[in-house]
Structure 1
């Protein structure tokens, strides 16, 4: 037997097999890409039919993770400024009166509220402005971690109130401590799939526009001293009549998250101290 010839035949056969397998891989990859692109075109076509538009979407986040935090217990030591008179009947929540009200730079500029919080409130830099109700003179802040907000979490909340002279007179604060990741990284849904999930549920109305999308966290498990939060896409949609609707989508599984109860609780205006 000519072993050199046999060896050459084996080499050629394996080379052909490798080429075939690589070709099969490339074909399947291209098919998968075609399906993905076709899917995106399909949702875009459907949105176009209903005149639902969106601007530049945020960059896709490759991964996200669940987080946990412990509810902060407030004490008098948290309020060393003599101008801050704290009432801590519930150690999980501080209600503070400013003995000398602090003037806001410009109540028509949202940045003024952030400036006040960062300069005057404990851990003020860890809160992000969420909503300003100028009729009621109340600004709502959500706590944030890694620059991502904790949506409607009653244990990570800050509300400030000002008077007719545009002076902050009091604030209400809750806070989570020791925020950390609790599970391994998960693949996060890209924005276009979040839009598709909302559309599939019939939540995107014709002639509307998706104005804003950002990734944050919503409460998954609420215990007495500890909470677990899941990565969540927040989506704001402007309707044809100018009204704004907001939706929250599980960034890992794509489920729509109902937070109406939490929203109502956070926005309750109880300023008794």
Structure 2
């Protein structure tokens, strides 16, 4: 036997085997990455022990950032007996009206349409849990201005009766300036929840109480506001045996970029 040739043949076979093993290894790595990526795009919240509601759908919905400023009211624009505070940007009125708290879509809305400044632009805040307040939010193009004290109508309730009414209004709402501020397709609600999960804002045992689409202000000044399309997610969780509720806002156009907590 020619040991020299046999040795060369052995080395060649050894190299080929190692090349084959390297190829198999990298194929496994690539497959693993693909599976992980696919898994991250479709979280099964039921299996993760997280309760979620029926999610709203906005097929092919496009939105963009908007701007506005607090309305400064004048007495000429108001009917009835009102007082103005906060540099004339908040209307206050003491009232004693028998309104049915459980029929916000009728009695309260009728009152708002009749008594409020541009009342038709306000809609009931669907996830309000404050038993002592009924809140209506100003809307823009059919979507609410989320968690914004500068665009709300609030009824205070005491002993089952409405005793006070306040209103603020965001004026001159319009698309913001900027070359990059064109309408873009939003991410769906499920994608927003997935991002919260992978960033540990959602954990096992949590309950998502509500998910809403609207405009959330990243600048809340009287002189001017910048509001971005956002998903509002209300989460109930338990910490040290006690229930805790938090509200998070996810940029609806670039959900991976911004998560803000209610302020």
Instruction: Give the TM-score normalised by structure 2.
Output: 0.71
SS of residue matched to 1:90: coil
Q: Does 1:85 align with 2:118?
A: no
1:125 aligns with 2:124: no
1:11-22 equivalences under 5 Å are: none
Gaps of 5+ in 1: 1-34, 262-273
Q: Work out whether residues 68 and 180 of structure 1, in 8 Å CA contact, stay in contact via their aligned partners in 2.
A: yes
1:241-265: per-residue Cα shift (whole Å, max 9, x none)?
Answer: 876442211111214443433xxxx
- The yes-or-no answer on 1:237 pairing with 2:238 is no
1:179 aligned to 2:169? no
Quote how far apart the aligned CAs of 1:85 are: 2.8
CA distance in 2: counterparts of 1:149 and 1:102, whole angstroms: 26
Per-residue deviation, residues 58-105 of structure 1 (Å, max 9, x unmatched)? 224532111111321111122213xx332346212222223xx2210x
User: In the alignment, is residue 251 of structure 1 matched against residue 262 of structure 2?
Assistant: no
Range that drifts further, 225-234 or 88-97: 88-97
Give the counterpart of 1:145 among 140, 144, 167: 140
Larger Rg belongs to: 2
Stretches of structure 2 that go unaligned for 5 or more consecutive residues are: 1-33
CA contact (8 A) 1:40 1:192 kept: no
1:185/1:56 Cα in 2 relative to 1: closer, same or farther (>3 Å)?
same
Q: How many residues align?
A: 218
RMSD: 2.9
Give the deviation of 1:171 after TM superposition. Answer: 1.3
TM-score (norm: length of structure 1): 0.68
CA distance in 2, matches of 1:210, 1:165: 29
Deviation, structure 1 residue 219: 0.9
